[in-house]
């Protein structure tokens, strides 16, 4: 059995004296693990960094075996992210959430493309946090926990004042429909609806909402596994940038 594709490196760990076991995300094969012979060598270890874009060839005697990868670098993203500590924490959040949530060897072609686009954006300091929020929304959707922001859950019609998300159903609620229940609902900033500008404070509100569903819906569905700490570190650094007027690296 063998195949060839490009993919995004999610993790690498030592295996034996000189090899490494890597996990990658590919458009056609999903999250896939395999051994890289010589993966701990001086030549390959710098290449096998989370977020790297790799050309991959996988081979195994049987399809259910872990198999062996040969890898060639396409582009490294860690070097760009290292110049911006917020971007590096965002990259780590992305790769950690994918490892946490995706089943092995199940393709998510749209999510793969969104992930590749997001990671490529992380070299642009101000362009990517909104893309990250939308990526979390896509992750929830593709795993069966998508938010329904099409109409008010209370009034049953599309409204111009959609302002909240129900933590129970994931449906949007208008300001008028929320009434006295507003303080029990999650925020729905305009940027989650694709409206207007997306200041960092609004993005942070959106991440509070997606975070609720990651912790209380997705993680619960996965047997109560805790959401990776890498996401919390990213959120903390992003909120610190907001508090300090966008000056935190």
- Per the model's pLDDT, the better-predicted residue between 79 and 185 turns out to be 185
Looking at 12-21, 120-129, 199-208, 225-234, which range is the least confident one? 120-129
Is there a single domain that holds both residue 227 and residue 118? yes
Is there a single domain that holds both residue 113 and residue 95? yes
Q: Length of the chain, please?
A: 249
pLDDT value for 246: 63
Task: Examine residue 180 and state whether it is found in any structural domain, yes or no.
Answer: no
Own/partner pairs for 185-193, CB < 8 Å, 24+ apart?
186/212, 187/163, 188/149, 188/162, 188/163, 188/164, 191/130, 191/133, 192/133, 192/137, 192/147, 192/149, 193/149, 193/162
Is there a single domain that holds both residue 21 and residue 98? no
pLDDT value for 81: 67
Task: Examine residue 182 and state whether it is found in any structural domain, yes or no.
Answer: no
Checking DSSP bridges between strand 172-174 and strand 162-165, what pairing results, if any?
antiparallel
Looking at 23-32, 119-128, 143-152, which range is the least confident one? 119-128
Is there a single domain that holds both residue 69 and residue 56? yes
Task: Examine residue 127 and state whether it is found in any structural domain, yes or no.
Answer: yes
Task: Say yes or no to pLDDT of 124 above 70.
Answer: no
Is there a single domain that holds both residue 63 and residue 21? yes
Q: Residue 83 — pLDDT band, cuts 50, 70, 90?
A: confident
Is there a single domain that holds both residue 130 and residue 210? yes
Which of 12, 46, 76 finishes a domain?
76
Task: Say yes or no to pLDDT of 248 above 60.
Answer: no
Task: Examine residue 170 and state whether it is found in any structural domain, yes or no.
Answer: no
- H runs (alpha helix) in the chain: 78-82, 85-101, 109-121, 129-142, 175-178, 200-213, 219-221, 229-243
Task: Examine residue 10 and state whether it is found in any structural domain, yes or no.
Answer: yes
Is there a single domain that holds both residue 126 and residue 13? no
**Alpha-carbon gap, residue 114 to 156, rounded angstroms:** 31
Order of strands across the sheet that contains 186-187: 172-174, 162-165, 186-187
Range of the structural domain that residue 112 is part of: 79-149+188-243
Is there a single domain that holds both residue 11 and residue 120? no
Is there a single domain that holds both residue 16 and residue 119? no
Task: Examine residue 96 and state whether it is found in any structural domain, yes or no.
Answer: yes
Kindly report the backbone phi and psi dihedral angles of residue 5, in degrees, each rounded to the nearest multiple of 5, phi listed first: -165, 170
Q: Residue 80 — pLDDT band, cuts 50, 70, 90?
A: low
Which residue, 111, 133, 137, 145, is CA-closest to 218? Answer: 145
pLDDT value for 63: 87
Is there a single domain that holds both residue 227 and residue 201? yes
Residue 94 sits in a domain whose CATH number is: 1.20.1440
Q: Percentage helix, strand, coil, to 5, in the chain?
A: 40, 20, 35
**Alpha-carbon gap, residue 245 to 249, rounded angstroms:** 11
Is there a single domain that holds both residue 111 and residue 225? yes
Task: Examine residue 158 and state whether it is found in any structural domain, yes or no.
Answer: no
Task: Examine residue 211 and state whether it is found in any structural domain, yes or no.
Answer: yes
**97 neighbors 218 (Cβ within 8 angstroms):** no
**Alpha-carbon gap, residue 166 to 184, rounded angstroms:** 8
Task: Say yes or no to pLDDT of 8 above 90.
Answer: yes
pLDDT digits (tens, 9 = 90+) for 174-231: 999 999 999 999 999 999 999 888 999 999 999 999 999 999 999 999 999 999 999 9
Which of 59, 76, 93 finishes a domain?
76
How high does pLDDT run on average in the chain? Answer: 93
Residue 69 sits in a domain whose CATH number is: 2.40.50.140
- Percent of the chain clearing pLDDT 90 (strictly above): 86
Mean pLDDT along residues 39-47? 92
Which of 43, 76, 109 finishes a domain?
76
Is there a single domain that holds both residue 59 and residue 131? no
pLDDT value for 238: 96
Number of domains in the chain: 2
- Percent of the chain clearing pLDDT 70 (strictly above): 96
């Amino acid at each position: 059995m063998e195949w060839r594709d490009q993919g995004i490196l999610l993790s690498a760990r030592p295996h034996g004296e000189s090899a490494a076991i890597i996990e990658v995300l590919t458009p056609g094969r999903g999250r896939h693990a395999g051994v890289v012979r010589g993966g701990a060598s001086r030549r390959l270890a710098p290449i096998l960094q989370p977020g790297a874009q790799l050309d991959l060839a996988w081979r195994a005697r049987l399809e259910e075996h872990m198999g062996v990868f040969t890898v060639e670098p396409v582009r490294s993203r860690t070097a760009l992210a290292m110049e911006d500590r917020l971007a590096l924490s965002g990259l780590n959040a992305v790769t950690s959430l994918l490892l946490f949530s995706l089943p092995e060897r199940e393709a998510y072609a749209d999510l793969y493309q969104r992930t590749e686009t997001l990671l490529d954006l992380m070299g642009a300091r101000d362009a990517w946090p909104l893309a990250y929020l939308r990526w979390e929304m896509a992750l929830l959707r593709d795993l069966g926990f998508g938010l329904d922001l099409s109409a008010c859950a209370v009034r049953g019609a599309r409204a111009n004042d959609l302002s909240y998300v129900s933590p129970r159903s994931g449906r949007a609620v208008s300001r008028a429909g929320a009434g006295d229940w507003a303080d029990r609902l999650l925020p729905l900033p305009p940027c989650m609806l694709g409206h207007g500008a997306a200041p960092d404070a609004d993005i942070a509100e959106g991440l509070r909402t997606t975070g609720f569903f990651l912790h209380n819906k997705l993680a619960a569905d996965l047997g109560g596994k805790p959401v990776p700490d890498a996401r919390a570190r990213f959120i903390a650094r992003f909120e610190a940038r907001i508090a300090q007027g966008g000056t935190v690296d």
